[in-house]
Amino acid sequence: MEFFEQITSIFVDFTDPRKRIFVGYLALSLLIAFLWLILFKRTTFSTAIAKVFDRKVFFSASSKADYKIFVINRLFSLFISPLLLTQIAIATAIYLFLHRQDFIQSGYFNDVNIGVVVASFTLFVFVIDDFTKYLVHRWMHRFHVLWAIHKVHHSAETLTPVTVYRVHPLEGILYGLRSAFAQGVAISTFLFLFGNSVDLYTIVGVNILSFVFHVTGSNLRHSHISISYWPWLEYILISPAQHQLHHSIAEEHYDKNFGVALAIWDWMFGSLHLSEDDKELEFGLLPNEASATNMIDIYTRPFLDISKIISRRARNFKQATLRIFSN
Ligand SMILES: [Zn+2]
Ligand SMILES: [Zn+2]
């Protein structure tokens, strides 16, 4: 019985509305893909079916690797659940820090209308979560050590909704800490300012804004259905086509569209690229990046790459020090 429970717990994300891959969101993404192809791309029903369920995408070597990584990572995540405790520790530390400051009193805005507090908290949690995701993602591309880890996600040559799980466990831990920090800041700041009236507007236990993000096809970001928005909207929200462009190996798409839900961060910090109509994109890593070929390679290569980077830095540092002292 226990073994059976362990097995089903691997797939529990499919039944959890807090996860992008929840079956309800997947079904809606399918519907959106169909409607997009039939209404906007003017394809016939049978062509739309063939396109959406393209075997070449779902049974490619890359997608099969995604499915294996999904199962292996879920097994890993059973061991890193203590991260949840870290989240509470971070929130408490920030709360205590604010409490010690003289310039503001705890519960200072206690009289503010409860509806306003809950609406602003719901928005604040969503925005800070999205912004920290943008920032960490940008660092993942900027710093060599982090790129060694993030490369696993970019080694996907076909995209399916499961590709969102194609990340090295180290990336999972980094994003877990990021989430702890973002939620810690949001919860403690609001508790501090508004007292105990802090709450979220939720649907099925999910922040209403995250829920809207998921029911409007968040899964299509990792797919071969290139849905773009009106250009003005792509300055505000990242369309599926814009994230697909982030995975493209074309030079003009390097370091573009790091955002998850909101495009405003990319717009503000100069990394926005609007989608391009019906352009065939090639996904994956450049030939000089030597993508991993098997599971052992996928999981161990980042460690090897990081140790190479560190020893190269140490060598350079030693040479520079020697040069300074020999002058
Ligand atoms: Zn990336
Ligand atoms: Zn991606």
Question: Residue-wise pLDDT tens for the chain (327 aa)?
Answer: 566 676 777 888 888 898 888 999 999 999 999 999 999 989 999 999 999 999 999 999 999 999 999 999 988 877 766 666 677 787 778 777 877 776 666 667 777 788 888 899 999 999 999 999 999 999 999 999 999 999 999 999 999 999 999 999 999 889 988 988 888 888 888 887 887 767 878 887 888 899 999 989 899 999 999 999 999 999 999 999 999 999 999 988 999 999 999 999 999 999 999 998 777 899 999 887 766 778 999 999 999 999 999 999 889 888 888 888 776
Which among 220, 211, 80 is positioned nearest to 163, based on CA atoms?
220
Q: What number of residues does the chain have? A: 327
User: How far is residue 325's CA from residue 157's CA, in Å, rounded to a whole number?
Assistant: 49
Q: Please give the C-alpha separations between residue 324 and each of 134, 317, 318, 319, 321, in angstroms, as whole numbers.
A: 39, 11, 10, 9, 5
User: How far is residue 145's CA from residue 304's CA, in Å, rounded to a whole number?
Assistant: 11
For residue 34, the CA-to-ligand 1 centroid distance in Å is 27
For residue 231, the CA-to-ligand 2 centroid distance in Å is 21
Domain count across the chain = 1
- Nearest-10 crossing angle of helices 144-154, 169-194: 110
User: How far is residue 101's CA from residue 273's CA, in Å, rounded to a whole number?
Assistant: 42
For residue 65, the CA-to-ligand 1 centroid distance in Å is 18
Place of tokens 């180290």: 170
C-alpha 209 chain-centroid distance: 16
Q: Please give the C-alpha separations between residue 253 and each of 101, 200, 257, 258, in angstroms, as whole numbers.
A: 45, 37, 9, 11
Give the number of whichever ligand sits closest to the CA of residue 134. Answer: 1
Give the number of whichever ligand sits closest to the CA of residue 136. Answer: 1
pTM of the model: 0.90
Give the number of whichever ligand sits closest to the CA of residue 243. Answer: 2
User: Phi, psi at residue 248, to the nearest 5°?
Assistant: -70, 145
For residue 276, the CA-to-ligand 1 centroid distance in Å is 19
User: How far is residue 133's CA from residue 59's CA, in Å, rounded to a whole number?
Assistant: 30
User: How far is residue 93's CA from residue 99's CA, in Å, rounded to a whole number?
Assistant: 10
For residue 221, the CA-to-ligand 1 centroid distance in Å is 12
For residue 239, the CA-to-ligand 2 centroid distance in Å is 12
For residue 278, the CA-to-ligand 2 centroid distance in Å is 19
Give the number of whichever ligand sits closest to the CA of residue 133. Answer: 1
Contact 166, 66 (CB under 8 A): yes
User: How far is residue 225's CA from residue 160's CA, in Å, rounded to a whole number?
Assistant: 10
What are 60's two structure tokens? 């490619």
Range of the domain at 17: 2-326
The three-state secondary structure class of 143 is coil
For residue 268, the CA-to-ligand 1 centroid distance in Å is 18
For residue 102, the CA-to-ligand 1 centroid distance in Å is 41
Neighbours of 205 (CB within 10 A): 10
Give the number of whichever ligand sits closest to the CA of residue 150. Answer: 1
**Pairing assessment for the beta strands 202-203 and 206-207 based on DSSP bridges:** antiparallel
Contact 13, 22 (CB under 8 A): yes
